Amino acid sequence: MAHPISAFQAAYISIEVLIALVSVPGNILVIWAVKMNQALRDATFCFIVSLAVADVAVGALVIPLAIIINIGPQTEFYSCLMVACPVLILTESSILALLAIAVDRYLRVKIPVRYKSVVTPRRAAVAIACCWIVSFLVGLTPMFGWNNLNKMRRTQEPNASQQFVITCQFETVISMEYMVYFNFFVWVLPPLLLMLLIYLEVFNLIRKQLNKKVSSSSNDPQKYYGKELKIAKSLALVLFLFALSWLPLHVLNCITLFCPSCETPHILTYIAIFLTHGNSAMNPIVYAFRIKKFRTAFLQIWNQYFCCKTAKNATSSTTTAEPGN
């Protein structure tokens, strides 16, 4: 029998639904903008689309599953594990998409002349496919055996049924050793540190180019690197927000593993969860305010499909009503 939802759970569910309602339309708008605007068809924006797809899935899939886990239904062990794994897949997909974006920006400023011959659409598509394959392998590792099933078996009665019916919670089925040693120390922290180094080098290369004395015939390189600097700053901000959103939860996981006697306030855990989910809603806002191509595309979509369409419908209704006057 289902337990009644408490006021705290109701507040949690309301905030999660609000995040989903911002995240899903915002990231669909990002994908739509890239699809309809030819100026957004280079490799960087393909990687941004991959990131947006992961963010749409967070709002449409992970948040509903997180709400289910928060309610704590009674379910079989592997059913609960299947509910917990999608967030691991999509987190890794976001990290690898951000890493691909960072490498792409580095190549744009390191080899600007040869960039288009090196980063072809085919290679970008292969890179995106590889990112998703790795994400599934990393995120589904608990399904392959690195989970809490054996630990639970040791605590069960010897004559207990092999079909474990449990209260479905993330920490119940996902091993903290997996979350800290494998997920965080191998697949989250090193890519974040690598991206930090890449962006520092990107900014260093751009500054060197912009500080060169330029003649009247060298305006194009200056314009190119100036544009690259603006985009690099925007994408570095996306990376910073991702790290700011995800590191608190991983730190709490480390505390749980290395200090079992330490009690973490539940409110901190919930704030960390809201930050991770809320990160999916941040990126479209950053693109809209920081990248002119996206801002132009968003306004074009609004004018073409929403604002002007409404005006046309109103005009059409008025015209239809006139003959009867």
3-state secondary structure 175-186: CHHHHHHHHHHH
Q: Considering the domain boundaries, does residue 183 fall inside one?
A: yes
* Counted domains in the chain: 1
Q: Considering the domain boundaries, does residue 319 fall inside one?
A: no
DSSP 146: -
Identify whether the C-beta of residue 93 lies closer than 8 Å to the C-beta of residue 130.
Answer: no
How far apart, in whole angstroms, are the C-alpha atoms of residue 240 and residue 261? 32
Q: Considering the domain boundaries, does residue 317 fall inside one?
A: no
Q: Is residue 206 over pLDDT 70?
A: yes
Work out the angle at residue 138's Cα, subtended by the Cα atoms of residues 245 and 101, and round it to the nearest 5 degrees: 55
145: left (phi over 0), alpha (psi -120 to 50) or beta: left
- Residue type present at position 34: V
Work out the angle at residue 31's Cα, subtended by the Cα atoms of residues 305 and 291, and round it to the nearest 5 degrees: 90
SS3 state of residue 238: helix
Tokens of 162: 């092999």
Confidence of residue 241 (pLDDT cuts 50, 70, 90): very high
Helix runs in the chain, H state only:
7-36, 43-57, 63-71, 77-110, 115-118, 121-139, 149-155, 170-173, 176-177, 185-187, 189-211, 219-258, 266-290, 292-301, 308-321
pLDDT in tens, 244-292: 999 999 999 999 999 999 988 989 999 999 999 999 999 999 998 999 8
pLDDT in tens, 75-105: 999 999 999 999 999 999 999 999 999 999 9
Q: Considering the domain boundaries, does residue 318 fall inside one?
A: no
**What is the extent of the structural domain holding 261?**
7-306
pLDDT in tens, 31-66: 999 998 888 888 889 999 999 999 999 999 999 999
CATH of the domain at 171: 1.20.1070.10
- Residue type present at position 320: T
Question: Which residue has tokens 């917990």?
Answer: 84
Q: Which of 240, 247, 255 is nearest to 271 (CA)?
A: 247
Work out the angle at residue 322's Cα, subtended by the Cα atoms of residues 320 and 325, and round it to the nearest 5 degrees: 135
Q: Is residue 310 over pLDDT 60?
A: no
Q: Considering the domain boundaries, does residue 215 fall inside one?
A: yes
Q: Considering the domain boundaries, does residue 20 fall inside one?
A: yes
Run of H or E including 291: none
Identify whether the C-beta of residue 90 lies closer than 8 Å to the C-beta of residue 12.
Answer: no
Q: Considering the domain boundaries, does residue 266 fall inside one?
A: yes
Q: Considering the domain boundaries, does residue 273 fall inside one?
A: yes
pLDDT in tens, 98-157: 999 999 999 999 999 999 999 998 999 999 999 999 999 999 999 999 999 988 888 765
Q: Say whether pTM exceeds 0.85.
A: yes
How far apart, in whole angstroms, are the C-alpha atoms of residue 94 and residue 107? 20
